[in-house]
Structure 1
Amino acid sequence: MGHGAGNHLYASVASRQRQHGAFVDELDEPSVKLGGTNFPKDDATSLYSFIVGPRGHPFHRHAGHRIFTAVSGSGGAQLRFSSASAQQVMEDPRNFVRALRFVNIPPDCMFTVRIGGETWHQFSPLSRNSLHPVFFALSCHTNELGGDLSRSMKEKVLADEASIPALTELLPSEVTQLLEAKEFDAETIPVTTLALDAPTGTLHRLVCNAMRSSAGLLRGAWSSWKGTSGFLSYGGSSRTVKELKAAPAGCLLNRQLSDVPVHHEDTFSLRVTGANFKDASARQLLASVLEGFLRNPPGGVSTLMALRNVLVKPFGLRTSSLGCPVSSLLSPATDTLFANCYAVLDQAVNAADTRAQVILGASDKHLLFRSCAGVEIIDDHHIDITLGTRVHCKNLFGRFYMKAIDYVHRRYVAPAMLRLAVEFALGQVEDFQMKKSLVPA
């Protein structure tokens, strides 16, 4: 790869991992489970990302075999393997050293490793006191139940609660002491050296390594300082959003702005059918929909909001990165929270927890708006999700503004926001139901 690319990518991945909800930092091998098992569908695979920093990490092994693809840091990496069995190590710790082999990986290089189950391994910098990370990797566990796992570990795997540290066995202390003893000479271990730019031991190789090392330090520092993030979106739904003639009976929106003229009103509804909503909670479903508004906004709406923010900023109007029907979800106010998380103006959940609603809204120089997001469970296989808005225009500019955006709001903004929020919420429901169905054997 390009000079310094290894350090740059390592820093980017390290930043993204830290922001992930499943981030684990143990055994000098920060990692994240990106994709879990799905045993009801006979899928025993899982996917992890992990990184190894400049200090390397300890010798360890896993019961099952591993396959991972990695990118080495700009100082290169050394992979260390010992095929000594547990019985051989127990008989004589020196058997571990006799079976030890090293593989040197060049800097800024993409490579793939396949490790048999029960194989001891360690990943370290190519040189001592290195300033460069070893590598980052994407690891596929092709069978999370593979190998001789304990009963408790099998239960964790079946419940999709396994992690890289949990599946790791460290080297016995007597072998660790042997490797740390003064008598141990790493120079006597057989080494296989891989190279791409130039053969090892040549001037060309030395110059190339020096250039990659320098570039890596700069690019790694830049990426760490700049930071990075990731974006996730759900789309492609064929579900139809319908505009209703009026808000449903009992909707909280009907009570909003009752003391002032209403210059704009709409309500959109989306019905979900076919899924199993037995024992579902309208409160929890609505919380997932609100999270969907925040985390899964339509890209086109975000672009329109960015353009709108630029145009109205000279007039001192309120700006937001989120579409106006639900933009108040970004409010820092904590006076009234729905599900102890989402800022709302009002809320209502019936006693049976089959209907939940919240009121959102804000006041600006030109208009006052109120929106109602609601979820109603019709039966075990049907739910209705609604998003309605009422607007009172405070002045002529407010009326002009609403006339200008009315068509796009009705035809695109509100329906798209509702559809993608529901897509996100249903994804959360499916994940919950899948985990709930896993019973340890």
Structure 2
Amino acid sequence: MSNTAIAVRRSDAISRGVGVTTQVYAERAENAEIWDVEGRRYIDFAAGIAVVNTGHRHPKVIAAVKDQLDRFTHTCHQVVPYENYVLLAERLNKVVPGDFRKKTVFVTTGAEAVENAVKIARAATNRSAVVAFTGAFHGRTFMGMTLTGKVQPYKAGFGAMMPDVFHVPFPVELHGTGVEDSLGVLDKLFKADVDPNRVAAFIVEPVQGEGGFYEVPKAFMTRLREIADRHSILLIADEVQTGFARTGKLFAMEHYGVVADLTTMAKGLGGGFPIAAVTGRAELMDAPGSGGLGGTYGGSPIGIAAGNAVLDIIEEEGLCDRAERLGARLKQRLQSLVGAVPQIADIRGPGFMNAVEFNLPGSKTPNPDFANRVREQALARGLILLTCGVYGNVIRFLAPITIQNEVFGEALDILEETLRDCAKDA
């Protein structure tokens, strides 16, 4: 069996709308390593897009799932509930930022979590409008892609978006948009397009994922919270990609000193198994009527078991602190290459949610070709990388936080070699 042969079959069998970054077909994986069907080994700096923060097939996750498999696999929680669903909700209510009483609902995907957060916000406020940000990514469902602040490839060709969604420029100083610029547009939005008294919620990623790994400036998050409070608008933190130790905290909002009213999460919560959640103020979470939230597979017994194991692993293995150490090593290595790789425009990211952005040398013009060349050549050397950003000129780094030290060192050497070679060939 070969990657090429499977790729041909894939092209014939699967919608082209399901894009793929590589034509590497996985056979098995362990922690931060993947082996393809041809037996070649790769170091995984994607982690299923921040899903396996605890590594592929962490022994404690696998043990928890196997134990659950021996008990039952599905009852639908709305029909016959189960205790570990309650336990995981209790644990999230305790650890999600905010010194207030909380409640939780489980669903299956990050997009579902976002959709339900909007439903909850609308039900709780009796308002309909939502304000999101350019560069944001909130999913591929209709509300998710409407909230997403990037047209290609997420919105192109799908017709009219959902009503009552507005976008404000995300503050990125590197691209000429400061905190006051964004706040100024928000003020004009409230004067020209939508009455703030009709806005149910702001939704924001503490660190933009697909948008380029730009952090929300602390001053902006503080002001956004103040504006929300002034107009009785809810603040939704989309922690789908930033959650579960990735940024050096269990949740990225812990870096800000302000809290969200509702928090969405998925990805890292399940350690490789599908589960998502919304956790928020109890009175808001109780606003929808009975039966207004949920889903057939929402909070599946398998995902719940994995989620409880993931929380144990993060605490027992000190993964928040480890994320800080790994991210510091990665950024230090990248910083040492600035002189040799003039395409490097910025190195950033909290904890182990890091990125390097490339421009044409000596300019502010984004250089997506260079980013893609780095990705392709790193893959040829056995290192899986992902690009992102509105301009496609950013490489993001999302290796499992459990990555072995020797494997991490090997990956850094491959990355440095690749960057140096691509810079020479440019």
TM-score by length of 1: 0.24
Looking at secondary structure, tell me which structure has more helix per residue. Answer: 2
Larger relative contact order, structure 1 or 2 (CA cutoff 8 Å, min sep 6): 2
Q: Which has the larger radius of gyration?
A: 1
Looking at secondary structure, tell me which structure has more strand per residue. Answer: 1
TM-score by length of 2: 0.25
